[in-house]
A = this chain, B = another copy of it.
Amino acid sequence: MKLYDSYGPNPYTVRLFVLERSGISLEVQPVDILNLENRRPPYTSGVNPRGELPALTLDNGTVITEITAICEYLDEIATAGTTLIGTNAEERAQTRMWTRRVYLDICHNFVNWWRNGDDAADFYRGYRIPNPSARDTEKLITNQALNRLDADLEGKTFICGDRLTMADIVLFGFINVMLPVVPWLNPPGRLNVAAWFSRMSNRTHSANALQPFPEGAFSG
């Protein structure tokens, strides 16, 4: 099993999931997205024609992309540690519900706000279509969703209550990586979101996951 790893919020989210989950062993292959290695063969011909990172290739050659699919797969096959999805159908449903909510309501909007700006046009070099006129709405919807999350977090340690889940890792992963280029994401006043973000930041693995994993065998 090989993880194709790189910079950016999606690879960070999977690395943080791997570290928090534990019980996962894999080979790591870094891919240099800054120099478009992900847009050329052998990556596009042998791993992912879409050029997205991360990707997980299984020993039989099957390629899994999409961060939530990768995380759920790794959670299922982990040989130690504690599930980050849930121990029963109800817990798993709550994790999946909140993961989809925070991604679609929050992450997707502020990442697209960045993707629709000038810095991203230089980064993507034509591999994404920018639409600057969408940015005002994307910022507004992100802020509305974070305001709602602030109310939803009242009295909770994590998004699903007392247990750390994929929902926390996806939302924290995206905010933590994008905050330098989306500076309006973490304003004063959203007390519950700020406290949750601080709790997540203070976890040991949150800093450990910032750099791509070294090439070669990984066991965590």
* 29 CB < 8 A contacts A-B: A60-B90, A62-B93, A62-B94, A64-B93, A64-B94, A64-B97, A65-B97, A66-B96, A68-B96, A68-B100, A69-B93, A69-B96, A69-B100, A72-B92, A73-B89, A73-B92, A76-B89, A76-B92, A77-B89, A104-B108, A108-B108, A129-B137, A131-B133, A131-B134, A131-B137, A133-B133, A133-B134, A134-B134, A134-B137
Q: How far is the CA of A134 from the CA of B101 in the complex (A)?
A: 21
> Which B residues lie within 8 Å of A131 (CB)?
133-134, 136-137
Given known pairs A65-B97, A66-B97, the reply for A90 and B58 (CB within 8 Å) is yes
Question: Is the CB of A153 closer than 8 A to any CB of chain B?
Answer: no
Contacts of A19 in B (CB 8 A): none
Neighbouring B residues of A58 by C-beta, 8 Å: 90
Question: Chain B residues with Cβ under 8 A from A89's Cβ?
Answer: 73, 76-77
Which residues of A, 48-89, contact B by the 8 Å Cβ criterion?
50, 58, 60, 62, 64-66, 68-70, 72-73, 76-77, 89
A36 at the binding interface (Cβ < 8 Å): no
Determine how close the nearest CB of chain B comes to the CB of A110; give it in whole angstroms: 15
| Cα A65 to Cα B93 with chains together (Å) | 9
Instruction: List residues of chain B with CB within 8 A of the CB of A93.
Output: 62, 64, 69-70, 72-73
For A26, what are the chain B residues with a Cβ–Cβ distance below 8 Å? Answer: none
